[in-house]
Each structure stands twice: as C-alpha cells, then as structure tokens.
Structure 1
Amino acid sequence: MNKRQTRLFAIASTAIAALVFIGMTIDSHRQFPKLTNAQNITPAVRSGQDVWHKYNCINCHTLFGEGAYYAPDLTKITQLRGEQYLQAYMKDPSQFYDEQRHRRLMPKQNLSDEEIKNLIAFLDWIGKVDNQGWPPRPILVTGATIPGTDMTAGQQADTSGQKDAGQLPPGARPQSGNENPIALGERLFRSATPACNACHSIAPGVNMAGPSLAGVASRAEKLIASPDYKGKAKDAAGYIRESITNPSAHIVPGAMYSANGVSFMPNTYGKDLKPEQIDHLAAYLATLK
C-alpha cells in the first residue's frame, strides 16, 4: 500500500467511524425517553430531585454508581425497601443505628413529610430507569464484610451469643416507647437469639445458611396466591409471621433449607420472642420488597 492508498484508507476509516458514532448517538437519544421513563417525571419527582441536591445526598450516596462511597448506592433502593421503611428511616435515621457499633451515621436532616414523600418519588423514578445493569453489583459501605448486613464477622458473633431473646447487643440504646416498630424490627433482626442475620442476608442473590430475604414481602404475596401453599396464612403479613413462629408450616419444594418436611430454621422464636417483638420483626421484613 502506497502513501496515497494509506491516506485514502485513513480518511475512509475515520469517516466510517464518525458515521457509526453519529448513528449510535442518534439511536441513544431516540431511546432516552423510554429508558429513563421520561413520561413518569412528575412534579413530585422534580421536587424530590431538588431535595436530593438541597441536602447534598450525593456527598455520601451514589446513584448509578456516581457519587461518594461513604454510604450505599441508592439506585434501586425503592425496589428493595418499601415506602414505610424509607419514610421511617428518613424521618429519624438514628433509630436504625447503634452509635457505639457503627462507624458512620446518617445525619438527621429534619426533612418535612412533603420532602420525604417527594424524595421517595424521585428515588422510585431512578429505580425504574433502565440502567442496563449498571452498577454491575450493589455497592457496599466500606468496612462491611458480610453482604446484606452492616456488621463485621466479629460483631455478628457477639450478637448471636446473646442469652435473652430480643436483647440488644452490648452498648445498644434501650428501646423507648416512641421508637418506630420497623427500626425496632431491624435491630431485632441483628440481635435476636439466634440472630436472624447469622443465616439470612438482605442482599439480592446472596444466600447464606438460609435464603436471602431480599424481596421476601413480594415473594410472600405470590406464594399466598399459589395453590401450592400449604400453610395457614391469609396474606403476606401473616405468612411472614408464620415463617418466624412456625417455619415448617410451608416448605418450599426443592429448597435446600429443609429435610424430611422440617425447616432448618429454629422453631423457637414463637416461644422466646414477645408478641410485640414478633410484630416488630414482621413489620421490618414486610418492607423488604
């Protein structure tokens, strides 16, 4: 190939590459409305975006993997947690933390009910954007060593050894009458005997000694409506309570978490936990969409 041919080849290659790039750009812009659910951008969503920026949420959290890495990625948070959980969490994050155990705490921003409602609407719109699977995996808080939990292995061993059912880990705040039941249930999830998070993750697809509880509320609704269900619960909330107090009431066919019709999950929670503790635990699990 002589110099003239080389020059023509370079020009033609550049032109073809430019045309391909322009075509892909036009095609991407053509799909943006569909991929981003532009038709669902309501005034509440726009107001929620303003709340997100007003309180500098991106200084700690990420959306689509972009932002700071001090706290979890919130891209799909509304697909994992129900609105009740998010409302309670944003209203007073301190109820969901033990300051003596957690290295980082979300500050209480004193958001109004309207701001919380709009922020959830914004996050729900974000969660329904077709992000083509990005980020490829959940972004965990730095220091978390057990997927789906906020405890290290050593801390988990400490709480799983509590002698009194429902007793909080050493140094945890005592319960007060005005604490949110969902927050109490999440705390109990980590501190009951044995600790629920010793066997269950709340991260999607992360199965431990027991199955992941991510999406347990949605699965419960489908199971209750299925003719294969063998338990006595009438609704999803009842199924969650039944799974806590009588785990062998319904055995999922083919699951590896039972043998001879008996669940591997301890059947002692119904006796060891107080009725209100079971209510709190069930309220928390019902938020896992």
Structure 2
Amino acid sequence: MNKRQARHFAIISTGIAAAVFLALTVDSHRQFPKLTNAENITEEVKLGQNVWHKYNCINCHTLFGEGAYYAPDLTKITQHRGEAYLTAYMKDPSQFYDEQKHRRLMPKQNLSDDEIKNLISFLDWVSKVDNQGWPPRPILVTGASIPGTDMSAERQAQTIGQPKEAGQTPPGARPLSGQENPIALGERIFRSASPACNACHSIAPGVNMAGPTLAGLATRAEKTLASGEYKGKAKDVEGYIKESITHPSAHLVPGAMYSANGVSFMPNTYEKALTPEQLNQLTAYLASLK
C-alpha cells in the first residue's frame, strides 16, 4: 500500500467510524426516554434529586456505579428495601447500629418528612431505569463485627444452638428501647438472635447460604399467598413471615433444597427464644425487604 492508498484508507475508515458513532449516538438518544422511564419523572422525583444533591449523598454513595464508593450503591435500593425501612433509616441511621462501638457509619442529616419522601421517590425512579445490568453486582459495605453487638460474625455463628430463656435480650444485642424504630430493632435481632438469622440467610440478591437469600422476601411472600399453593394459615405478608419464623415447616416451597421429608431445616425454636414483641420487630424488618 503506497502513501496515497494509506491516506485514502485512513480517511475512509475515519469516516465510517464517525458515521457509526453518530448513528449509535442518535439511536441512544432515541431510546433514552424509554430506558429512563422519562414519563415517570414527577415533581416529587425532581425534588428528590434536589435533596440528593443538597445533602451531597454522592460523596459517599453511588448511583449506577458512579460516586464515591465509600458506601453502598443505591441504584436498586428501593427494590430491595421498602419505604418503611428507608424512612426509618433516613430519620435516624444510628438506630441501626451502635455508634459507641462501631463509630458513625451514616450521618444523621435531619431531613424533613417531605425531603425523605421525595428522596425515596427519586431513588425509586432510579431503580426503574433500565441500566442493562450495570453495576454488575451490588456494592456492599461490610465490617468485622455485627452492628449492635460485641461479636464478630464468626463468634456470632458459634452461638447457634445455645438455649435462651424467653424474653431475654438476644446475645450481644443492645438493650431495646421503646422509642426506637421497630424495623431498626428487628434488624438488630436478625443479627443477634440465637441462632443468628444472618448465619444462614443473606439479604443480598442471589446470595444463597445455608438458607435462601431473604432479598425480596416481602414480594415473594405476597406471590406465595396468592399462588393457590400456599399450605399455611397466614392471611397477609406479615403473618406469612412470622409463621415462617415460628413454624418453618408450615409451608415448604416446592423444589427448594432447604427441607427433607416435609420438615424444614430451619430451627423451630424462635417462638420460645424471642418474645412476642421481638417477633413483631423481626417481622417488621423482614417485611421491609422488597
């Protein structure tokens, strides 16, 4: 190839590449309204975006994998946690861990009720954007110890099978205050009951351990109740979750490998190990997992 042919080849190749790039750009812009659910951008969503920027949430969190990478990615947070959980957490994050032992993980921003509602609307819109699988996995923040306890995850796992009198505070948990949010208290019980729920169950989507992931539990419970195949006695989602805790063999998911001969592998001791109030708090937390 001589110099003239090389020059022509470079010009033609550049022109083709530019044309393809422009075509893809035009096609992307054509699809943006559909991919981003632009028709669902309400006034509350716009106000929620203003709240996101006002409090510099991106200084710690990420959306679509973009941000500070210090705290979890919130792209799909409203599909994993319900409005009740998010509202309680934004009102007072310190209820979900012990600042005296685990330092301040999330600052209390003193958001108003309207700001919290609008921010959740914004995050809910974000969660419905077709991000085509990006980021490829949840960005999780983990620590060496369980929030609200003195124990590491390994030490807490060793408490499985230890007897406990009804009404006693779960091992390692902070004393419960009646002024604290029941969802926050329920999350603490999830991590500190005996046996500890998080020793067998994850709340990350697709992460199955000794027991199935509890991500999306409330949604699955609702579908199970409406399926016609449900064998238990519960009438609503909260009742189904509480029944699953206290009587795990009442309904066994067909095909699941977490039972044998009609008996669930999950311990059936929680009805005695936890007080009715603690069961209600644990149920409230699990019901917030959409």
Is TM > 0.5 for Structure 1 vs Structure 2?
Answer: yes
* Structure 2: 5+ residue stretches without partners: none
**Take 1:210 and 1:234, find their aligned partners in 2: how far apart are those partners?**
24
**Take 2:156 and 2:101, find their aligned partners in 1: how far apart are those partners?**
11
The structure-2 alpha-carbon separation of the partners of 1:139 and 1:145, relative to structure 1 and needing over 3 Å to count, comes to farther
Match of 2:95 in 1: 95
Q: Does 106-115 or 172-181 show the bigger shift?
A: 172-181
| 8 A Cα contact 1:199 1:210, kept in partner | yes
The one-letter amino acid of 1:195's match is A
| 8 A Cα contact 1:168 1:187, kept in partner | no
**Take 1:63 and 1:163, find their aligned partners in 2: how far apart are those partners?**
43
Match of 1:167 in 2: 169
Match of 2:272 in 1: 271
For residues 1-289 of structure 1, the aligned pairs below 5 Å read 1-141=1-141, 143-144=142-143, 155-160=152-157, 161=159, 164=164, 167-168=169-170, 170=172, 172-289=173-290
Q: Deviations over 1:172-191 (max 9, x none)?
A: 54211111000000000000
Q: Deviations over 1:85-139 (max 9, x none)?
A: 0000000111001224435510111100000000000100111111111101101
| 8 A Cα contact 1:78 1:120, kept in partner | yes
Deviation at 1:167, TM superposition (A): 2.8
| 8 A Cα contact 1:233 1:239, kept in partner | yes
**Take 1:43 and 1:89, find their aligned partners in 2: how far apart are those partners?**
23
2:9 counterpart SS class = helix
| 8 A Cα contact 1:144 1:151, kept in partner | no
**Take 2:124 and 2:199, find their aligned partners in 1: how far apart are those partners?**
30
The one-letter amino acid of 1:70's match is Y
The one-letter amino acid of 1:158's match is R
Deviation at 1:8, TM superposition (A): 1.0
**Take 2:254 and 2:178, find their aligned partners in 1: how far apart are those partners?**
41
Q: Does 5-14 or 196-205 show the bigger shift?
A: 5-14
The one-letter amino acid of 2:63's match is L
Q: Which runs of 4+ in 1 moved over 4 A?
A: 143-146, 149-152
The one-letter amino acid of 2:40's match is N
| 8 A Cα contact 2:169 2:175, kept in partner | no
Q: Does 195-204 or 175-184 show the bigger shift?
A: 175-184
The structure-2 alpha-carbon separation of the partners of 1:145 and 1:27, relative to structure 1 and needing over 3 Å to count, comes to farther
**Take 2:188 and 2:2, find their aligned partners in 1: how far apart are those partners?**
75
Identity of aligned residues (%): 76
- The aligned length equals 284
Deviation at 1:245, TM superposition (A): 0.5
**Take 1:145 and 1:19, find their aligned partners in 2: how far apart are those partners?**
53
| 8 A Cα contact 1:167 1:191, kept in partner | no
| 8 A Cα contact 1:62 1:73, kept in partner | yes
RMSD across aligned positions (CA): 2.0
Q: Deviations over 1:182-230 (max 9, x none)?
A: 0000000000000000000000000000000000100000001112211
* TM-score, scaled relative to structure 1: 0.93
| 8 A Cα contact 1:64 1:75, kept in partner | yes
**Take 1:145 and 1:133, find their aligned partners in 2: how far apart are those partners?**
29
| 8 A Cα contact 1:58 1:68, kept in partner | yes
Deviation at 1:169, TM superposition (A): 5.0
**Take 1:101 and 1:25, find their aligned partners in 2: how far apart are those partners?**
51
The one-letter amino acid of 2:246's match is T
**Take 1:103 and 1:135, find their aligned partners in 2: how far apart are those partners?**
28
2:99 counterpart SS class = coil
**Take 2:184 and 2:18, find their aligned partners in 1: how far apart are those partners?**
55
The structure-2 alpha-carbon separation of the partners of 1:128 and 1:150, relative to structure 1 and needing over 3 Å to count, comes to farther
Deviation at 1:43, TM superposition (A): 1.0
* Structure 1: 5+ residue stretches without partners: none
